[in-house]
Amino acid sequence: MRFFRFRRDIRGVAAVEFAIILAFFLLPLFLGLIEIITIYRAEAKLNMLAINVAQMAAIESQATTTGTGGNDGVSTVALSGAGSNSLQDICQGAVLGLAPFPANGMTLAIASITQEAGPNGQPTNSSAHAASASYDEWEGDFTVSGTHCTPVSGGTGQIGLSTAETMATTPPARSPGTTGLVVVPCDNAIIVRAQIAYPGIVGLILQNRPLLSQTVYTRWRYASTTTELQCGNCTVINNAASQICNTNNNATN
């Protein structure tokens, strides 16, 4: 008898139904909140990775080469080489900082733009450029498989040297001022761009995952009137054999 009365009792049914329906509404909000936090953390990690790569490239101080006139002020960095001061080594160390997010599939580009100096430290002229100055440019590109950085040879580069030149010689977006980082002879800009497909929950559902991208600008730390950093086996344009920016410079490169 009590069982039949209990079965006919409908008190609280609405509350139970509301709780069940509400759960279906709250679940997407809960997952969305987790996804927003994950995206923010992934972006922050990628930005820090790009900053670290730029800083490590900026403090490279390889032994300068010596030309016929003595020390020509050119320092060189290698594109590849494990366990050495190379761009690959920089990439290798930086990807570990992306944890706990997987670095697999990430692309990394490191570009350098230095304005050439002609006689008496004045800008040189080049028919290859629309502006009055010409530039020494190089770019090293890498793809990450697991946690291993593999150099990418050939092609126009992930940034592209013409694009990198424009980025270096014009003000970055939302930046005050009317000039870029490279304005006068021997000015230098190092540009680092890191990109990776978003590894969060959305990435498990969508076939084409959103692409996260971070770009960082800096200068070679040792840049002065008599120095330049080059990467001979990178993708290069117009790397000069000497780059001495002073009144005694009579180079015609």
What tens digit of pLDDT does each residue of 215-250 get? 999 888 775 555 678 887 888 876 555 555 544 444
Residue by residue, DSSP assigns 100-168 as TS--TT-EEEEEEEEE---GGGPPPP-TTSSSS--EEEEEEEEEEETTEEEEE-SSSTTTTHHHHHHHH
- The average pLDDT across 106-129 equals 70
Q: Name the residue range of residue 195's domain.
A: 2-237
Residue 88 lies in a domain: yes
Residue 19 lies in a domain: yes
Residue 155 lies in a domain: yes
pLDDT of amino acid 238: 66
Q: For the chain, where are the E strands, in sequence order?
A: 64-67, 70-76, 107-115, 135-145, 148-152, 188-197, 211-218, 228-230, 235-237
Residue 9 lies in a domain: yes
**pLDDT top residue among 149 and 206:** 149
Residue 252 lies in a domain: no
Residue 244 lies in a domain: no
pLDDT band at 132 (very low <50, low <70, confident <90, very high): low
Q: Is the pTM of this model over 0.75?
A: yes
Q: How many domains does the chain have?
A: 1
Residue 7 lies in a domain: yes
